[in-house]
Amino acid sequence: MMISCVLPVGNSLRSMPSARFDPGRVCIALVGPTASGKTPLSLLIAEHLDAEIISADSRQIYRYLDVGTAKPNRDERAHVVHHFVDILDPTEEYNAGRFGVEAREVAADLFARGKMPLLVGGSGLYVKAFVDGLFEGPGKQPDIRPRLEAQLKAEGLHALFEELKRVDPKGASEMKQVKARQVIRALEVYYATGRPISEFHAQQNTSPDFDVLQFGLMWERRELYARIDRRVDGMMDLGFVQEVESLRKRGYDRRLNALNSVGYKELFDYLEGKCTLERAVELIKQNTRRFAKRQLTWFRSDSRIRWIQTNAGDEMKDVADRIVRWYRDRIEKRV
């Protein structure tokens, strides 16, 4: 049973000063499904608390993926410093384990400079790596991974997952979703080291030397889905198709993990003549709603997250005020 705290919006702190505030060693993590309003809310919180944002988004980390990832725009990033945005080309590999290590290093530097780290994003594994630690493991194994990928193509995901259950039943049972990349990675680690990845996780998951106060944005499902539809329509108006065309001209294609994402896959199909633009947009909305549902399932399993019930009429200023007050109360109790 999940135990969570659902915080109503209200009791605005409009008169609350945004002067420099000693963050102690407590930071905020703002999580939730896509289109829930994390970006505008994070900018308001950052103003109040002299924070810099650590992006926990596995796609915003890549250059050239702007519209389709709802990346903060230049003005927003000029106003508040964002870390882990636009640091890699789409051909480069990255993972949650590496993010956990590097994001904690950034957080330590921010604390040292008297600023508060504000983790923001919907990539559940990235958030987990930051909050709880995550085994990074050996790098890509060129003599193992191609064989597993060929096996996936020839025999299917079910066969690979059955193999994982044989060599690492604990790791297989703990997978919330059976994804090809995660199954291949777990098998790769096993065949490279002779030890199941779950064993490494058990040994190397460590908490950071600071506290993380986690907040999640909760919307009524119908309103969240309406927000998703509006966001997709807005992306199309901002030139999402042109962005994907530009990626193709640069030589990037759907085989890259960075582009194996909702929105990009559907528009690649459109540009390759496999569907109409109308159908592609319809699928983007549908698949984004499914993605949001998976994100909620992931985050709701963490009882440490304090959920804020948000409604269409609420102003983000009021939501930000509520979170800042909760954070300040937490700090005062530590003093």
Q: What is the pLDDT of residues 133-153, one digit of tens each?
A: 876 566 666 788 888 999 998
Assess whether 216 and 191 both reside in one domain: no
Give the pLDDT band (50/70/90) at residue 205: low
Average pLDDT over residues 11-15: 35
- 110 phi and psi angles, rounded to 5 deg: -65, -45
Neighbours of 11 (CB within 10 A): 9
Number of domains composing the chain: 2
Assess whether 227 and 84 both reside in one domain: yes
Q: What is the CATH number of the domain that holds 157?
A: 1.10.20.140
Instruction: State the Cα–Cα distance between residues 70 and 66, nearest whole angstrom.
Output: 6
pTM: 0.78
Assess whether 128 and 64 both reside in one domain: yes
- Structure confidence by residue, pLDDT tens digits, 55-104: 999 999 999 999 999 999 999 999 999 999 999 999 998 989 889 999 99
Query: Is the confidence at residue 38, as pLDDT, over 70?
Result: yes
- Structure confidence by residue, pLDDT tens digits, 290-329: 999 999 999 999 999 999 998 877 788 999 999 999 998 8
In a domain, 139, yes or no: no
Q: For residue 251, how far is the Cα from the chain centroid?
A: 26
What angle, 0 to 180 degrees and rounded to 10, lies between the N-to-C axes of helices 264-271 and 277-300?
160
Q: Which structure tokens are listed for 51?
A: 């924070």
Range of the domain at 180: 145-204
Q: What is the CATH number of the domain that holds 236?
A: 3.40.50.300
